[in-house]
Amino acid sequence: MPMKKTLLTKEAPSMIRKVPVTQEAPSSVNSMSIEEVITKRNLDNLTARLFLQPFKLDARIIQRTDIKLYNSCAVVGSSGILLHSGCGNEISSHDLIIRLNTAKYKGYEKDVGNRTDLSGINYVKCNQVLQCFSKQRKKCPSYQELLALRKSIILLTVFTDDLKTARFKKDMAFVDMLYKSGIKFDIRVSAEGATAAIKRFWKLSKSPTAGIRGIAIALTMCRSVSAYGFYPSTVSPSGKPVPYHYFDQIKLGGHRSHNFSEEQVVLSGLNRNQVIRMVTDRCE
C-alpha cells in the first residue's frame, strides 16, 4: 500500500494561529530529513511545526532552540515503575529528552536521567504553578522547578486562541510570569488543531494525555523513540504496588477528559510494530 503524502512546510488553514508567533528560519529545520521520517512512519499531517510553534516574546529574552531531526529521543512518563529501574544513564544517553508537566528528575537521576530538553506543560499544571506563585512568589517550589528548565523548550501543549476565555487569560498569565523571570525561555505553543489531529490520527475518543502528546512530538523529530515511565497498571510484573507518579504519592483518580485504555492500546501497537520502544523493565 503506498504511503500517504505528508505536509511539512504548509499547515491546513485550521492550523493557523491568531496568537503572535514567529516564523522559524528555514535553515533551522532539517526539513528533508524530517519529512523522510514522517513519510516512512505514515504520520499524515503530524509535524514538528504543528506542535512546536514559537511564541513571540521580546527578542532580548528569547533563546531559540533549533528544531531538527534527532537520532535518538526518550519520552519520559511519570509512572512509579521508574523507581529503582536504574534507567537513568540509558535515558540520559539520548539526544533529546522529553518530559511532561515539569516532572522532577533531581534526586531521581539514577532512575529517570539528569536533564530535560523539552517539557510539555498542560493547562492544569500552568494553573497550579500560578496559584502557588501567587501565594509564595519566588519561594514557590513549582516556580523553582520551572526555573530549572531555563535551557529547555517549554511547550504549552494545549493553548487556546480565544481571547475571551478564562483559559486564555491563565495561559497569558503563565507566559507573563516566565517573561518577568528574566530568563531566556524558549516558549512554544501547539498549533490550533493539534489536539484534533492527534485524536483523529489515533482514533481517540477523548483528549490526548500529555504522555501521548509527547510520543507524537517525538515521532516527528526523532529517528528512534524510546518511552519510559508509561505503565498501565498499579501492580508490577513481580506483584509489587506501582505508584501513579515516581516523585509523589498522588493516587490515580477518575479522568473524564482522557481514555487511558485507548491510549494504552495505541502505545502497545506502536511498540509491537517497532515504531517506538517501550521500556518497563529494569535497565541495570
The answer to whether position 92 is within a domain reads: yes
pLDDT in tens, 177-193: 888 887 878 888 888 78
Residue 193: HSE in the Cβ half-sphere, 13 Å Cα cutoff: 13
The answer to whether position 113 is within a domain reads: yes
The answer to whether position 76 is within a domain reads: yes
Show the low-confidence residues of the chain (pLDDT under 50): 1-32, 59-61
How many separate domains does the chain show?
Answer: 1
pLDDT given at position 56: 63
The rounded distance, in Å, linking the Cα atoms of 124 and 130 is 10
Neighbouring-strand partners of residue 278: 227
How far from 143 is each of 54, 127, 129, 178, 251, CA to CA, in Å? 22, 12, 6, 9, 23
pLDDT given at position 156: 87
The rounded distance, in Å, linking the Cα atoms of 262 and 212 is 11
How far from 6 is each of 33, 55, 66, CA to CA, in Å? 13, 24, 21
pLDDT in tens, 50-70: 888 877 655 444 566 777 889
pLDDT given at position 82: 96
The answer to whether position 146 is within a domain reads: yes
pLDDT given at position 19: 38
The answer to whether position 1 is within a domain reads: no
Nearest by Cα to 218 from 28, 79, 76: 76
The answer to whether position 26 is within a domain reads: no
Nearest by Cα to 19 from 147, 190, 150: 190
The answer to whether position 185 is within a domain reads: yes
Length in residues, the chain? 284
pLDDT in tens, 201-233: 999 999 999 999 999 999 998 989 999 999 988
The rounded distance, in Å, linking the Cα atoms of 193 and 201 is 12
Helix axes 260-272, 210-221, angle to 10 degrees: 30
How far from 72 is each of 81, 92, 182, 229, 255, CA to CA, in Å? 22, 11, 32, 17, 31
Domain, as residue range, for 88: 44-279
The answer to whether position 198 is within a domain reads: yes
pLDDT given at position 162: 66
CATH number for the domain that contains residue 52:
3.90.1480.20
pLDDT given at position 218: 94
DSSP 135: H
pLDDT given at position 62: 55
